[in-house]
Structure 1
Amino acid sequence: MPDRLRFAPSPTGYLHIGNARTALLNALFARRQAGAFVLRLDDTDRERSEDRFATAIQEDIAWLGIPPDEVVRQSERFDRYQAAVETLKAAGLLYPCYETPEELETRRKRRLARKLPPIYDRAGLFDDDATRRRYEEEGRRPHWRFLLPNYESDPREIRPTQVGWTDLCRGEQSVDLGSVSDPVLIRADGSFLYTLPSVVDDIELRISHVVRGDDHVTNTGVQIPIFKALGAEPPRFGHHNLLVRADGEALSKRSGALSLRSLREEGYEPEAVASLAVLTGTSTTITAVPNLRDLAETIDLGAINRAPARFEPGDLDNLNAAILQARSFDEVAERLAALGVGGGEAFWLAIRDNLVRLNDAADWWAIVNGDFEVDLDPADGELFDQAAGLLPAEPWDETTFSAWTKEVGKATGRKGKSLFQPLRLALTGRASGPELRRLMPLFGRRSTLDRLSAHRDRTR
């Protein structure tokens, strides 16, 4: 059977670059194996899930270049989860608990005081029918817990019980079920927590590999017995390190920090975002990979570091600039037109090596059109006048600038920085930028003459 992998975000906010890491690792792994990539929207949290975020998630992963082969919503699958609930109840593996949060916290503190693991003591498992009726009469509603297989014959006697797997990213892993509480699968209001729907979906969608953040390691240890209780073989698991800022700050959908939507609006290239998201925190050098096919070939889940994947947001600028430098005019023509940028291929070839983001092209287009301000040194006024008088006739090409400045240098005695820097400022308003040999033909003689002559109005 072909490999099937999934990305399972909750539509409670916009995806950030850390979410992109998980999505890309799954999608590219599946593509490399000629498998399928499934988008599963974990929208069982009715209060926080929003359709606008579900739509944004699909737009964002399409922008990254990894549209899913299949999309499912957990909110449309409650009947399947309820069927699994009945199966677990019939097997005696799902039991009601009526404790309030305050009562649970009191018990947790008591266990800590006795130097015991602060896990649930399974009191609800042994409540008799009369006790449960009394709780119901008091208005209490139960939450439901899954009975972990961490005992021999008496569930009261919880024992160290290792559940292990060979992790695709971390190698041999295990979780001691004797040190974790029986997981709550259903809240008191009847809604499902993450754990059970995730297992049911992975079974029914035939997910072969689950690649997710290493904050899910304990979840995996708990979910493996649920897979087996439902008569299914667990998928292969891989837990990658999480992407965090250089200062260790975590990323959050709620904060909106480094959201894919904002990065797209700021003019970043999806390939730059993908390169940073996938390669940071691995043994592979972080470089700008121009297409997802090549990026997929770099993925080695076993080469992912265990430490958090720290990155500087500024790293994205360097990758983005490298991606743009490799773009042909045809690849960006429509986007430049949308920015109101003209000049055709000649303009693009002149400025692309000086861009960090495509949006920066609009600034250089304004400069080509003479829309800029600059303070010029009055001491350079004579230079500008002489340079204006030596401007050659058109047509101009990329040899014009060199020939012109050679004559200006002879006439003024200036050379090097004292010649070129004032001319660059007068012509572009910038101390650095694209090669003037490429820009001058775009300016044209009339505009160049105006820029040189305007020093009389722009000098301090």
Structure 2
Amino acid sequence: MTVTRFAPSPTGYIHVGNLRTALFNFLIARKAGGLFILRLDDTDPARSTQEYADAIQQDLEWLGLQWDRLEKQSDRLDRYTAAADDLRAMGRFYECFETPTELDLKRKKQLNMGKPPVYDRAALDLSEAEKEKLRAERGPGHWRFKLDHERIEWTDGILGDLSIDAASVSDPVLIRADGQFLYTLASVCDDIDFGITDVVRGSDHVTNTATQIQIIKALGAAPPAFAHHSLLTGPQGEALSKRLGTLSLRDLRAQGIEPMALLSHMARLGSNQPFEMASSIDDLVAGFDLSTFGAAPTKFDVANLGPLTARYLSSLPFDAAREDVLALGVPADKAQAFWTVVRDNIDTRADMADWWALFQNGASALVAEEDREMIETALSLLGDPPYDADTWGSWTAAVKDATGRKGKGLFMPLRKAVTGRERGPDMGDVMPLLQVKPRL
């Protein structure tokens, strides 16, 4: 069975970069009829909060990305301890005592010598007496996994065949000096225990994947299939990382962006498939193909989401908007007609309120001075509501006869007088929704 996971840290809100990872893993699981696990990587007690954990779940629910299981790394610390003990027993785990400053100096020295800044394994040469002395002076050390210096190879689901020389990579730190388990060890244990078969994540994790493959094998398991999607950039190719805080899903939701518009965009962004607006999660699943995505950085422009939301809304059937329409106070017998009229003329659902206010209370007439006399005459020829589908045609005909106006010189001033807008729905559809007679 295909089993995937989305593993955010509850240290902040989900942003569009996180969403891409969540969506790909969700779609792979659903397409295969498998399981999608939400795993909260909350081993950092100082930064992880329940507020963010709740927010992550709320944002995924808003999008319709429902998980099959929820797991928390904070519930599994004993498992990580046991795995660390196993690695020690194998001779694959060793304690180091360098300070961050000392490590930085080592890296700089290596770079100055033209060498890769890889940890030199100096701690392996320490005697037990030297370790005891360092513990007394500095406290407990941090623990590194001892990589086998060989090539680590796998076929990536997006990047193709990859090969990394483990000698070019520092032995990864798996436990900090304060005892906190780091992502690499915890993730490996979880992927093994939860039977994860497929992992899709950002291309900035490629080196992590190489080390994790070795750790997984050391613990006696087979690695999942890995794929690394390209990273998002801004519309001009600029780094997006500094802006991600303003691109949280909750911010986009507050702006009125529709979940399906966002998901449709992200499900094709960076692939060689043309954009297609999905109407449901099932549509997204059916059209998803991981092999169509490339390695090149992918440009993302948040400005595209507004027009896509408007496009999605314009195709939305009344049943999908019924609750929002009725919540405005639109009478049930006019609700469907109201939605049919406004859906092509709103950018977000929130814009419906302005249209209903216009229909219910009338608009501030937009009248040019040269049209004022004609509008006064026109309004005198219009009775009180209710109006019907024939009202606009009969009214404009009467105004034409009375004033001699015709064409754009007739219809545009009347539209602006009735709606206070230069553009909008067909006026024949607008008139039956008016609750009050237009006025200057």
Q: TM-score, normalised by structure 1?
A: 0.91
SS at match of 2:98: coil
- Aligned equivalents of 1:354, 1:278: Cα separation in 2: 26
- Aligned equivalents of 1:340, 1:179: Cα separation in 2: 66
Aligned to 1:388: 379
Bigger mean CA offset, 424-433 vs 383-392: 383-392
Aligned to 2:195: 206
**Aligned partner letter, 2:62:** W
- Give CA-to-partner distance per residue, 1:76-105, whole Å, 9 cap, x none: 100010110000000000000001111111
- Aligned equivalents of 1:106, 1:245: Cα separation in 2: 34
CA offset at residue 329 of structure 1? 1.9
- Aligned equivalents of 2:251, 2:168: Cα separation in 1: 41
CA offset at residue 300 of structure 1? 1.3
2:402 maps to which of 407, 411, 434? 411
**Aligned partner letter, 1:44:** T
SS at match of 2:245: coil
- Aligned equivalents of 1:124, 1:74: Cα separation in 2: 29
Bigger mean CA offset, 10-19 vs 331-340: 331-340
Aligned to 2:73: 74
Aligned to 1:95: 94
**Aligned partner letter, 2:258:** E
| 2:437 pairs with 1:438 | no
- Aligned equivalents of 2:173, 2:225: Cα separation in 1: 24
Q: Is the 8 A contact 1:3 1:35 kept in 2?
A: yes
Aligned to 1:104: 103
| 2:248 pairs with 1:262 | no
CA offset at residue 378 of structure 1? 2.1
Q: Is the 8 A contact 1:164 1:175 kept in 2?
A: yes
CA offset at residue 176 of structure 1? 2.0
Aligned to 2:388: 397
- Aligned equivalents of 2:243, 2:370: Cα separation in 1: 55
Q: Is the 8 A contact 1:96 1:124 kept in 2?
A: yes
| 2:226 pairs with 1:234 | no
- Aligned equivalents of 1:337, 1:94: Cα separation in 2: 63
Structure 1 pair 213–229 and aligned structure 2 pair: CA distance change class (3 A): same
**Aligned partner letter, 2:396:** T
- Aligned equivalents of 1:266, 1:107: Cα separation in 2: 48
CA offset at residue 59 of structure 1? 1.1
- Aligned equivalents of 1:371, 1:404: Cα separation in 2: 18
Aligned to 1:153: none
- Aligned equivalents of 1:380, 1:104: Cα separation in 2: 78
Q: Is the 8 A contact 2:385 2:434 kept in 1?
A: no
CA offset at residue 367 of structure 1? 1.2
SS at match of 1:103: helix
- Aligned equivalents of 2:187, 2:353: Cα separation in 1: 46
- Aligned equivalents of 1:138, 1:79: Cα separation in 2: 28
**Aligned partner letter, 1:397:** D
**Aligned partner letter, 1:352:** R
Aligned to 1:428: 419
**Aligned partner letter, 2:355:** W
1:355 maps to which of 328, 333, 346? 346
- Aligned equivalents of 1:104, 1:311: Cα separation in 2: 37
**Aligned partner letter, 1:416:** G
Aligned to 1:83: 82
Instruction: Give 1:338-353 correspondences, 5 Å limit.
Output: 338-340=327-329, 343-353=334-344
Aligned to 2:157: 168
- Aligned equivalents of 2:305, 2:98: Cα separation in 1: 49
Aligned to 1:52: 51
- Aligned equivalents of 1:187, 1:371: Cα separation in 2: 66
CA offset at residue 398 of structure 1? 2.4
CA offset at residue 347 of structure 1? 0.8
Structure 1 pair 287–432 and aligned structure 2 pair: CA distance change class (3 A): same
Unaligned residue ranges in structure 1 (runs of 5+): 151-160, 455-460
Aligned to 1:274: 263
Bigger mean CA offset, 403-412 vs 131-140: 403-412
1:335 maps to which of 324, 330, 335? 324
- Aligned equivalents of 2:197, 2:157: Cα separation in 1: 12
CA offset at residue 246 of structure 1? 0.9
Unaligned residue ranges in structure 2 (runs of 5+): none
**Aligned partner letter, 1:25:** F
Q: Is the 8 A contact 1:18 1:277 kept in 2?
A: no
CA offset at residue 371 of structure 1? 5.2
- Aligned equivalents of 1:52, 1:352: Cα separation in 2: 35
Structure 1 pair 251–60 and aligned structure 2 pair: CA distance change class (3 A): farther
Q: Is the 8 A contact 1:17 1:273 kept in 2?
A: no
Bigger mean CA offset, 420-429 vs 330-339: 330-339
Structure 1 pair 258–114 and aligned structure 2 pair: CA distance change class (3 A): closer
- Aligned equivalents of 1:162, 1:418: Cα separation in 2: 77
SS at match of 2:349: coil
- Aligned equivalents of 2:366, 2:425: Cα separation in 1: 20
CA offset at residue 162 of structure 1? 2.0
Structure 1 pair 8–290 and aligned structure 2 pair: CA distance change class (3 A): same
CA offset at residue 267 of structure 1? 2.3
Instruction: Give 1:314-329 correspondences, 5 Å limit.
Output: 314-329=303-318
SS at match of 1:226: helix
Aligned to 1:247: 236
Sequence identity (%): 48
| 2:304 pairs with 1:295 | no
Aligned to 2:122: 123
Instruction: Give 1:11-50 correspondences, 5 Å limit.
Output: 11-50=10-49
- Give CA-to-partner distance per residue, 1:328-353, whole Å, 9 cap, x none: 22211212334555541111111011
Aligned to 1:457: none
CA offset at residue 395 of structure 1? 5.7
Give the total of aligned pairs: 438
- Aligned equivalents of 2:238, 2:46: Cα separation in 1: 27
- Aligned equivalents of 2:7, 2:237: Cα separation in 1: 24
- Aligned equivalents of 2:400, 2:164: Cα separation in 1: 76
Structure 1 pair 338–254 and aligned structure 2 pair: CA distance change class (3 A): farther
- Give CA-to-partner distance per residue, 1:334-388, whole Å, 9 cap, x none: 1233455554111111101111111110111111123543552222122112212
SS at match of 1:164: strand
Bigger mean CA offset, 433-442 vs 333-342: 333-342
- Give CA-to-partner distance per residue, 1:209-244, whole Å, 9 cap, x none: 001111111110111000000000000001111233
